[in-house]
Structure 1
Amino acid sequence: MGIEWSVGGRGWGVVRIRVGSCGWTDRGLVDAGWYPAGCTSAEARLRYYASRFSLVEVDSTYYHLPSERNARLWGERTPEGFAFNVKAFSLLTGHPTRVDALPRDLRGSLARGSVYPRDLPAGVVEEVAGRFRSALRPLHESGRLGVVLLQFPPWFLPGAQAEQYILRCRELLFPYRVAFEPRNGAWVTPETFAFLGKERIPYVCVDMPQGHVEAVPPVVRVTAELAIVRLHGRSAHWREGDAREKYRHDYTDGELAEWVPRIRRLARDAEEVHVLLNNCCGATAVTNAAALREMLMVA
């Protein structure tokens, strides 16, 4: 359920604001009882989620390459107009990647553990990107693929070389649209927004804890027809906590309300806005997403 909203900006028109969460299969969400009794299969849960929201982010593709079968089933199990944003596989964005997450025929003599792109023979990253792209084809053909999220690590710093790599990722994933999310505040500059605007690559606006190397301030900018917001929570354990503690934050109504005028500002200059709650601990992401959507509908 997206929000059809008439706004001013580049002339009057209708902007669609989609709100959703980063995942629908998290164990914590299932254990929290958000799904109704009897909703136990993967198909039933996705169909139920898609009856409540018009957008979801697939994060499992960061850890494992997607499969064409799953991409086809996602499209078949969701209504027309539903959108999946898909997180890029870790190797493509320069993160450490587990060897056992690579296709068997590409592992060669690599030992168990994690590798970076520099550890692999020439052509492997391109081959992995091709398989990632191929697996998502059914979702793209069904009209349900939103963007591929390129979330880069804190050590990926701005500069000409980094910009060229972003463009290289876009080329490898063509014809799919890509979006850029940094994990270093050094990217929040006029130069970054000018580069992204020139290339029509969406900048991902974020809400996250501040005061550490990964911190990116909650600056909103429109650099393409699509604007994206990801709300990661404000956990005090972002740096030292485990994965669950890192994202354990239940947004208050006041904290969500801070984003209403920002999202409205994005909607004035974009054709579509995606808002995703990534505080996936229990049912907080979906309950916060529903609350924020309600605020936007009455704002």
Structure 2
Amino acid sequence: MSKRKILITGKGSYVGTNFIKWLEQWPDQYEVVELSVRGTEWKEHDFSIYDVVLHVAGIAHVSTDPSMEQQYYKVNRDLAIEVAEKAKEEHVKQFIFTSSIIVYGDSSHINKKRIIDNNTKPQPSNFYGNSKLQAEEGISLLESDDFKVVIIRPPMIYGKGSKGNYPKLASYARKLPIFPDIDNERSMLHIDNLCEFIRLMIDNNENGVYFPQNNEYVKTTEMVRLISEIHQKNVKLTRVFNPLIKFMGNFVGTVNKAFGNLVYEQGMSEYKENYRVWDLQDSIGVTEK
């Protein structure tokens, strides 16, 4: 069997770098090339030799700076569609686009549950989410029998070297003697679970919109407890501050970021093959090792 040839557009990205590492387990099955799509040189690259393009280039973090808005649309939407158009023109068979749960808006308030199911309509609350959603729409229009489009809307991705909320939580878990014990639920996805999911999308030549997540929802406090245990810190959990924190949730965005609720209904994330190589506890273990 000949190797599947995969082009990752977006050099040095967290997902792309980890995916390359993940596929090293099957050296005879996959051949992966990474391509920078900054500037215009990428347009000269021959896409026709690849079976799959995995597009991971993009501005990843939410900014509220209005001067950044055009840049978000240019990179997250226009560039993604342009890469997909080139892939289709040059007869690539499958295009995989990494979008985000952020197309549904922010996580909910600390005092409210928010469950996304198959009937939930995307409603971005900022231009990051909107740029991702418009990219999805533009790319989906290109789909045909010969050009399969996979759109992945992962929740918060974490793992060794990840950016965003996880490293902040890990640092609290290592440093703080006590931490608030608040009941919340988040869908999250360990990077290895995502990499295995993408591999299965390629192996099974899939198309459609997908919502991979870990087997279990994550409670922020529980995550902090697991991280602190690994570092033998054993943080003390307390509910003493809960009334104050819940009150602050009405005014302070970071409270909802840390303790808000945002989950995919579990059934949306099922797939015919198991992609969840780590459960929560093991995933924290491999991340913090």
Larger radius of gyration, structure 1 or 2?
Answer: 2
Does TM, normalized by the shorter one, top 0.5?
no
